[in-house]
């Protein structure tokens, strides 16, 4: 167990629907990163939150949004789902000490299948 919890592990939904993926970071980590792993795009950075604030955005579609709550858990919302959104979505948390990244701890991922 990495300490980063992602739920659900698997999700199957229909095109046009909306889903919410949840991530609880490791205790003490203030940063949450979201990544998408798809067959054609590989592992891509989506968004970074630090202590409730958005810090950086990557190739995240406008149909996707995220937030980090006061208890530091984060949710990734995917709406108007398309077949191409089928992917493995990873959350990672990290701690930054004196400006240096200690590296991420990844969750086990949520596998989203859009049918």
Partner 1 sequence: AQKVTQAQTEISVVEKEDVTLDCVYETRDTTYYLFWYKQPPSGELVFLIRRNSFDEQNEISGRYSWNFQKSTSSFNFTITASQVVDSAVYFCALSEPFSGTYKYIFGTGTRLKVLA
Kindly list the residues in this chain that would bind partner 1 in the complex (CB under 8 A). 2, 31, 33, 35, 42-45, 48, 50, 55-56, 58, 88, 90, 94, 96, 99-109, 111
50 vs 79 by CB, closer to partner 1: 50
20 vs 108 by CB, closer to partner 1: 108
Are residues 70 and 61 in contact, defined by beta-carbon separation less than 8 angstroms? no
Q: How far is the CB of 77 from partner 1 (least distance, A)?
A: 20
Give CA–CA dist 59/4, Å, rounded: 23
Give CA–CA dist 98/44, Å, rounded: 26
């Amino acid at each position: 167990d990495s300490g980063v919890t992602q739920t659900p592990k698997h999700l199957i939904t229909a095109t046009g629907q909306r889903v919410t993926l949840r991530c609880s970071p490791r205790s003490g980590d203030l940063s949450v990163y979201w990544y998408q792993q798809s067959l054609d795009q590989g592992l891509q950075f989506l968004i970074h939150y630090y202590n409730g604030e958005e810090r950086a955005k990557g190739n995240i579609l406008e149909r996707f949004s995220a937030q980090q709550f006061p208890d530091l858990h984060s949710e990734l919302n995917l709406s108007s789902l398309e077949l191409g959104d089928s992917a493995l979505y990873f959350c990672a948390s990290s701690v930054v000490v004196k400006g240096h990244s200690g590296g991420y701890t990844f969750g086990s991922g949520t596998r989203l299948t859009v049918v």
